[in-house]
Structures are given as C-alpha cells and as structure tokens.
Amino acid sequence: MDKLYSLSAKSMKELLEKREVSSVEITKSVIERIEKTDKDVCAYNSYNFENALKNAEAVDAKRAKGETLGALAGIPLAVKDNIHVKGLKTTCSSKMLENFVAPFNATVTDKLNASDAIIVGKTTMDEFAMGSSGESSKLAVAKNPWDTSRIPGGSSSGSAVTVAASQVPFAMGTDTGGSIRMPAAYTGVLGLKPTYGTVSRYGIIPLASSFDQAGPMARNVDDLAMLFGAVCGRDTKDAVTKNYTFDGYGDSVKGMKIGVPKEYYGEGVQPAVKERVFEAIETLKAQGAEIIDISLPSTEYALAAYYIICCAEAASNLGRYDGLRYGFRGSNTSNVEDLYLTTRSEGFGDEVKRRIMLGTCVLSSGYSDAYYKRAKLLQQNLAAEFTEAFKSCDVIITPSIALTAWKFGEKAGNPAEVYAADICTITLNIAGLPGMSVPCGFDSSNNMPVGFQIIGKKFRESDILTVAKCYENAVGGFAVKEF
C-alpha cells in the first residue's frame, strides 16, 4: 500500500485492526518518509529507527497472538526533545545537554509505551523551550514545510513540522506560553494545550513549572483526541495532576455559546489573521453556535506578567546546570566560580541567558515586590476574569497568533517584538486553562497558514474538541502541504 506514512492515525489503527497492514510496514513507510524529507525540514534532533522497528515487530507479534493491545498499538509518533525517553538523548536543543542520555522515562513516555505506540525520534525545539520561532535551537533548526525560508514557530517547532510534513500522524509537544499552539498555527496543524494538571510533567525538562504542560499535535481532531486520551490522567509522581479521564467529544455546536473578547483583535493583529478568524467564527455561527461579545481587560498586562513569572521560574530551574553534576562542563575549571561562569557562558545560548538574567533580576531584593509579586496578583485577576467570562459562554475564540510566519532572521534584532507575538496564547498558561489552535485558512499575501484558538473551561477539553470537530466537518478537513 502506497504512502502509508500519509494516513491519519485513525486510518492506521483501522487498517492494523483489520490486519490489512502491519505495524512494521507502517513504521518502515514513516522512516523512509523522514529519511527522504528531513534534510529539508530538519524536524529531528535524533532518530530512534532501530528501536522503532523492533517495537513494531513486537506489536505485530502481540496482535498475531491475540494479546490485548494499547490504544495506539503500532502507530508511529515523535516526542519533543525535552521529554525523557530512557536510553535516548534529551538535549533540549542545547549545547548544555547535547550528550545527555535520559536515565529514565517521563510518565508521558511510559503511557505511550503502555499504549503500544512506536516512538520514531526526538524532535527539535527552541533551546530549553525558550522561544516563539524555533530559531534559538543550538542543534537542528526546523523549517516551515509551507515555505522553508520561514520559521515554524516555537518552542515545539520540530513536533509541529514533523506532523505538517506528513512524517508522522501525530507528535507530543510541550506548552509553557503557547509552545504547542503557536507552531501549530504557523504550520497549519492542530495543537492542544491541556488544562494544567491533566498531563504529568514528570520526566519533562522544566521551563516554568507552574505553566508547563505537555500536549498533542496532529492533522485532524480525531488523531489529536486519540493521543491526548492516551497520555492524560493522574500521576503520583506529579502532585498537580488530577484524576482526569477524557470523556470524548461531539460534532455539533448547536446551542453552544462562543465568547469573542475584543482585547484579542486589536492593534498588532494582522488584518489577514483577523479576517480568517472571523470567517471561522461565522462558520461556527452558521452551524448553530451563538456568538457573544466579552471582555478580558487584564489581557493588556498579561504579557509583562507572563515574562516576569516565567523568567523567574526559568532562572530557578536552570540553576542546576553548573558543570558539576551532569551536562556540559565549561573550559575553565581552575576554581568553582570560574567553572560556573564558563559552563553557563559557553553552554547556554543568548535567549536562555536573557531570560535567566531577567528572572534573577525580578527575584532579587528590592525588585521582587515591585515585579514578581505584582505579576502574581495579575495572574489571580486574569484567572478571575476568565471565570466570570465563562458564566456567559461555553468557549472563547481568539486568533492563535497575531501574525503569520516570518522569514528566518527577520526579527533577530528585536526580541521584544517576538515576545509580543505570544499575547494571544500566554493568558491560558497564566490561568491554567485548556486551549487549542485550529487551522482556518491562509494569509493571501504569503500563502502561510492562519490558526484560531479555542479556549475552554478547566478540564473541559471535550468542549474545545467538539467545536474543532464541528469546524473541521464544516470546512471539509484541513489542507496538507504536499511536501
């Protein structure tokens, strides 16, 4: 059967269950596709092909014996390179961890293994998940399949690209301020940032622990939901996880109330992005949804609050990289102070250093009250505004990102402008809410994908997926780049 790699995970599952194809056949097709195309899109830091084929053989053997199989049995996928897979490198796309081999599995990895999924490799990312474009990686720098001269978005750049380039049907990413939803929007795929506490963070290299959340990326809603259902739920190794069970979703929005906050459609949002998002809203309205205007006034201050809290936590989390315990060791080892200095100067890239310095500053004496504590108060205010807004609507729709993908290097000298691109996504991480980016057409000026964001109440991923599925049905599915 030709082009097995291009099938949806749902179609792969159906063929496998009917025994019309084997997992080995699908996995070989996926590997061949990656080998053929990855030199152009650079989605991976490392491959796991040999183990993937062995695991596929094992799944086929279990199926032949009639043994019970997991929900993702025999289906290939990729995971972001900050998620531990025992025996494989976890680099975070940084020189600091370039040769670090994971000594244990993340809980997400254990759940994927328990579901009999086939992990084919580790995808590239912004260094230590710090970035919105994918450009800060110190290893492979992923390229947007729709135009390889343009950024794919970050930080889960490789996970988005491998899905968009039809290398795998779905992939795992992580999201601290939009790192799943932004690259999903830029590359024309779907990406879900679940409610904080639905997916374990154990075994995932942290950026900002109070914001971090792992989630799936896919080319259609059914595949996205399949992967999310496999990885969510309580984990005793992560105290913030809940006894959460994903209970499915529908395909009709009739009677649902959709909130549209004016603060997300103002200055800075490209006209083409607004047009496509409003078209998507009209499509849902035509399907029976009720559109309601709402306001989230604290959004104006969210960007500043996010970067204060995120950088403060990042500075704390990255303190462990000192050249003594593991990872890269600096060139000057004459004394401990010089070792620290050279390790961090040589091992971290510019974006990581920038955030460490900002985080250290806002936590220092004389500044923590003025900045960090005020940012935490804003976090409470924003969460309260969302709670109030959800009294009048079931979901909220905004742009996923204010602009479409720009060319590599175009914004290299203006990190503040890149940070500002996060404004539509960061509020969800601050409030701990679930959100999802859904493709909704293209910017006619450059033919790059546009995405809209669906925001839901806590632990109501089913509502988000219902809206996305209804929209997918209404538009007849999402465009796939012939790459």
Active-site residue list: 80, 155, 179
The answer to whether 208 and 182 are in contact (CB under 8 A) is no
One-letter identity of residue 70: G
The answer to whether 94 and 352 are in contact (CB under 8 A) is yes
CB atoms within 10 A of CB 164: 29
Q: 155 preceded by cis ω (within 30°)?
A: yes
* Alpha carbon distance 257, 21 (integer Å): 43
Q: In Å, what is the CA distance from 323 to each residue of 102, 250, 359, 464?
A: 17, 51, 20, 44
Let me know the angle formed at the C-alpha of 91 by 88 and 94, rounded to the nearest 5 degrees.
165
Q: Is 292 helix (H, G, I), strand (E, B) or coil?
A: strand
* Alpha carbon distance 207, 126 (integer Å): 11
- Return the exposure string of 340-364: e unless at least 16 CB atoms fall within 10 Å of the residue's CB, then b: bebbbeebbbebbeebbebbbbbbe
* Alpha carbon distance 37, 360 (integer Å): 41
Question: Which stretch of DSSP H or E encloses residue 313?
Answer: helix 299-317
The answer to whether 292 and 258 are in contact (CB under 8 A) is yes
- Closest CA relative to residue 441, chosen from 396, 394, 410, 476: 476
The answer to whether 183 and 160 are in contact (CB under 8 A) is yes
* Alpha carbon distance 195, 83 (integer Å): 18
Token duo for residue 163? 């899905």
* Alpha carbon distance 341, 225 (integer Å): 45
Quote the radius of gyration of the chain (alpha carbons, Å). 21
Q: Which residues touch 124 (CB under 8 Å, ≥6 apart)? A: 42, 43, 44, 45, 81, 93, 134, 137, 139, 140, 141, 142, 157, 158
Hey, what's the torsion of the CAs at 194, 200, 201, 204, to 10 degrees? -100
Give the orientation angle of helix 299-317 with respect to helix 373-389, to 10 degrees. 130
